[in-house]
Amino acid sequence: MANKDSFARKHRYLDNQITRLEKTNHYNREQITTLKKRKLKLKDKQVSLERQTVKKQMQLALGIGS
């Protein structure tokens, strides 16, 4: 659960940074694009971790080995 909270916190931080830059520094598209890419990669890692967790839970529930 700590990982999920950590991902959410980092995701929210990046989202706030992007919003701030778009309002105050909109001409620096390269920096904004870089932050958006980092945010997407973070979201991908979060989804992947959640899928692995669900898969393990299903295997345990069904009594299947890994």
Helices then strands, each counted (H, E), the chain: 2, 0
Instruction: Tell whether the torsion through CA atoms of 34, 36, 42 and 45 is positive or negative.
Output: negative
pTM of the model: 0.71
pLDDT in tens, 52-62: 999 999 988 88
| Integer Cα distance of 59 and 66 in angstroms | 7
Please give the pLDDT value at position 28: 86
| Integer Cα distance of 66 and 53 in angstroms | 12
| Integer Cα distance of 3 and 10 in angstroms | 10
Share of the chain above pLDDT 90, in %: 56
| Integer Cα distance of 36 and 21 in angstroms | 11
